[in-house]
Amino acid sequence: MKYIFASTISLFLILIVVWGFNKYTSRVTPDFKQKTMSEHQLTTSLPLNELATFEPIESNNLMPASSRAETENSLKDKELLSSNESQFSKFQKETIEFTESPVFDSILKLDSAFVNEQNVVNKRPLEIIFRSPNLDSIIEKMNSMAGNQESEERQQKLYSQLVTQLGNDFHSEKFSCKGKVCLLAFTYDNSVNSDVLSKLRDFDTNYVFSSNKLLDNNDVIYRGVFIATEDASSMTISP
């Protein structure tokens, strides 16, 4: 009898434990499921499709517009600098070849290089002179040539005319006269009147070519080629 009563008590206790466990799990499981579902929803809500279509952005586009403009200008400046350096090298080579040519072997050859018997001026030496980065070397080459009395007189007249017209408003002058040809280069103040410069030709009867290049400091570099002639109006220049 005692055994049956104890078994009944034990069964009753087991039922109570099972009932309590079921009640507890019924309360915990929905919360767990809800939490799991929320995490899944958060995960799938991430813009994964954007990552799938991601493309690298060009570094230039990351720069502010002002920086891009500065970069583009810098590239243009470098291209211009490269172009200028290329031209400088070309004209420097041109100058060297000219000074080493037979043109300066004699006054006769020099005259023939600039103007022929039909009074047609050759454009080629003029181009070299006016774009040369080192005109001084050409003038020095002319000064090293053997001259004659007529050349010496023209050279003296040229310098005298320069002083008469510009006074003290010039410096760094270089000049030479050989045969029919005189070359002149100097630097002057931008305030000098152009009429004064045009009178430089009057030291003799000349067919004249000249250029003026303004510098950053407001000085101007003058280059002039004076070709002696009895009648400047009869002379022409080659195409």
Is 89 in a helix, a strand, or coil? helix
Q: What is the DSSP string of 19-81?
A: HHHHHHHHHHHHHHHHHHHHHHHHHHTS-HHHHHT--PPPGGGGS-HHHHHHHHHHHHHHHHH
Return the residue matching tokens 């220049």.
237
In a domain, 24, yes or no: no
Name the domain count of the chain: 1
168 or 37: which carries more pLDDT confidence? 168
147 confidence band (pLDDT: 50, 70, 90): confident
In a domain, 227, yes or no: yes
- Pairwise CA distance, residues 213 & 223, whole Å: 9
117 or 63: which carries more pLDDT confidence? 117
Q: What is the pTM of this model?
A: 0.66
In a domain, 10, yes or no: no
| Paired residues of 206 in beta bridges | 228
DSSP type of residue 115: B
> Is the pLDDT at 197 greater than 60, yes or no?
yes
Per-residue model confidence as pLDDT tens digits over 111-144: 999 999 999 999 999 999 999 999 999 999 999 9
In a domain, 161, yes or no: yes
Q: What is the DSSP string of 200-224?
A: GGGGSSEEEEEEEEE-TTSEEEEEE
Tokens of 79: 């291209």
In a domain, 8, yes or no: no
- Pairwise CA distance, residues 110 & 131, whole Å: 19
Cβ-proximal residues to 56 (8 Å cutoff; 6+ apart), any chain: none
Domain that holds residue 148: 79-237
In a domain, 132, yes or no: yes
In a domain, 204, yes or no: yes
Q: What are the φ and ψ backbone dihedral angles of 144, each rounded to 5 degrees?
A: -80, -10
pLDDT recorded at residue 141? 97
